[in-house]
Amino acid sequence: MSVSPIVRLSRISFIRGSTAILHDVSLQINPGEHWAIIGPNGSGKTSLVSIINGYHQPSEGEAIVLGRRFGATDLRELRRFIGECSSEIRDMVHNREPVRDIVLSGKFASIGLYESPTSKDWQRADELMDFFGLSGLSDRPFRTLSNGEQQKTIIARALMPEPSLLVLDEPCAGLDLKAREELLGSVQRMGATPGGPALIYITHHIEEIVPAITHALALRQGRVVAQGAKNEVLTDDVLGRVFGVNIEVRERDGRLWPVVLRSKNAGIS
C-alpha cells in the first residue's frame, strides 16, 4: 500500500511584485523523514516555509501538504495540522501570560487562552512541559523566562494539537551556547520519538542539524542547489556553493561542523 507524502512541491515558483523569490523548486517529504532547509539569508527559506505552512500560494507549480492540494483546500484548515515555532509567534505571545496557558493555547491556535481546556488538554500540556523541562515554570509569566525557556514554551505550544508536521524556523536564533544545546537536545528527542510529527528545521547554521534529521534541501538565491539524504547534501562542495566560501565539514558526535578555509587569493580570515 502506497503512503502519501507529507509534503509534495512540484516545480513551484514564488513571485512578489516583480521579484522572483523561488524558482522551479520541487520537494517531497515522506513519512519517517525529517528535513533541514539550509541556505544563506535571502536564499528563499522563509518564503518556502510560508508556502509549506499554508500562508501563501505558489505563483507557479503544484503544492500538496498533508494530502491537501493548494487551490482546492481551505488553507486555514490545513494550518490546524501544522505546528510552527517562529520568531513571529514568539513576538505575538502575551508576555504576562503563564507558561501553562501559552502551551494550552496551541490547542485552539489562539494567541491567549480564551477557551476552556478539557482534562485531556491539561494532561497533554503537563506532558509537554515535562518533556521540555518546563514543569517547574508552569505558573511563571512568559516575560520572566530565559530565551531558551521561551523557545521551548513556543515549541510545546506548537505540539499541543498533535500536529502531523512541525516547522522550526531558526529556533536557536538569539540563544547562548548552553541554551542552544539544550534546545537541540529537545529537537533530537522529538525526531527520535516514534509516532511524532515530521520535522522541518530551517537554519543557516549547519552545526545545528541534529542526527535525527535525515534529509536536507540547500537553497541559494531561490534555487535548489542540492537535496536528498543528509550525508549527500551537507558536503564540502555543496556547502561551498551554497554559502560562497571554501568550507571543510568535520563530523563529531553525529553532527557536522563547517570550517571556513582561508582563501589563498581572497585572504578570508
The 10s digit of each residue's pLDDT in 168-221 is 999 999 899 999 999 999 999 999 998 889 999 999 999 999 999 999 999 999
Q: What is the mean pLDDT of the chain?
A: 91
Q: Is residue 19 domain-resident? A: yes
Question: 1 in a domain, yes or no?
Answer: no
What percentage of the chain has pLDDT greater than the value 70? 97
Residue 267 resides in a domain: no
Q: What is the pTM of this model?
A: 0.91
Q: Which residue shows C-alpha cell 520572566?
A: 144
| pLDDT band at residue 19 under the 50/70/90 scheme | confident
Residue 24, number of CB atoms within 10 A of its CB:
14
H/E element, 198: strand 198-203
> Could you tell me the residue range of the domain that residue 126 belongs to?
7-260
Query: Is 224 contained in some domain?
Result: yes
Counted domains in the chain: 1
CATH number at residue 187: 3.40.50.300
In-domain check, residue 23 = yes
> Is the alpha carbon torsion for 159, 165, 168, 169 positive or negative?
negative
Confidence of residue 139 (pLDDT cuts 50, 70, 90): very high
Contact criterion met (CB below 8 Å) for 227 and 79: no
Q: Note whether residue 181 is domain-resident.
A: yes
- 266 in a structural domain: no
- The region, left, alpha or beta by phi > 0 then psi within -120 to 50, assigned to residue 84 is beta
